[in-house]
Amino acid sequence: MAEPDHAFYLRAMGVQSWRLRRAPEPRLAPQPVLAQGLPPAAPAAAPAGAEAWEALQRRVAACQACELCATRTQTVFGVGDRRAEWLLIGEAPGQQEDLRGEPFVGPAGLLLTEMLRALGFAREQVYIANMLKCRPPGNRDPAAKEVLACQPFLLEQIALLRPKIILAVGRIAAQNLLNTQQPLAKLRGVRHQWRDIPLVAVPHPAYLLRSLTEKARAWEDLQFAWTVYSQLKE
């Protein structure tokens, strides 16, 4: 993104200075086991992971487990680094995501990208997925049976990725992942657990685009997520 656009999104977030002092260290590729003087590693580990990802993506693309398959343009599997430590989970594809086959595109996606950049991440350094892989018509909330039908795919993505932290992006994602009906306002700013993985709830960028007063608070949410993540390394 050009610098003027970057500045625009920082201003749009209602934040004057929006950069952490220390960017996160990228996850390093594992050193060859042999170089550490240990017995040779199983040689197929990385390819098997890649094959598992590809097989899962193919299964998602062919899925007809709920009625959303009838109205989708295409499935929206997820994007990003498949070794990322940060996993962002949104609700479901919108119109533009359905057309492009990628989560969080359009103005809300640009804002999310800027939020990540402010944390020191390129969009490509995290993994971004939705609970649902197909667009609910008219961008309605996902039905419970649709969430249930699509859940195995998300569980497999999490199992393959093994993230260090999950960001639940938006109320719907947070409520479903935490199995609660509490409003997002009560879920923000708290370290939750999704199984053994810490989870932080943040507002959906589409909501932030509509709500001027919430933009600066969203920065506090991200700073909190960073604090949770940093504590994992201590």
Rounded least distance, CB 152 to ligand SF4, Å: 8
In the chain, what is the greatest distance between 2 CA atoms, to the nearest angstrom? 57
* Helix ranges restricted to H, the chain: 3-12, 45-61, 95-100, 106-119, 144-161, 171-178, 184-187, 205-210, 215-232
Query: In the sheet where 86-90 sits, what is the strand order?
Result: 79-80, 127-130, 86-90, 165-169, 197-202, 192-194
Rounded least distance, CB 147 to ligand SF4, Å: 9
Tell me the CA distances in angstroms from 49 to 4, 84, 161, 197, one per residue in order: 39, 13, 9, 20
Rounded least distance, CB 12 to ligand SF4, Å: 31
Task: Indicate the residue among 94 and 198 with the shorter CB distance to ligand SF4.
Answer: 94
Task: Indicate the residue among 112 and 134 with the shorter CB distance to ligand SF4.
Answer: 134
Task: Indicate the residue among 57 and 223 with the shorter CB distance to ligand SF4.
Answer: 57
Check: CB of residue 166 under 8 Å from CB of residue 53.
no
Rounded least distance, CB 136 to ligand SF4, Å: 8
Rounded least distance, CB 66 to ligand SF4, Å: 3
Task: Indicate the residue among 69 and 209 with the shorter CB distance to ligand SF4.
Answer: 69
The footprint of ligand SF4 (CB under 6 A) covers 60, 63-66, 68-69, 75, 132-134, 146, 149-150
Task: Indicate the residue among 13 and 149 with the shorter CB distance to ligand SF4.
Answer: 149
Q: How far is CA 106 from the centre of its chain?
A: 16
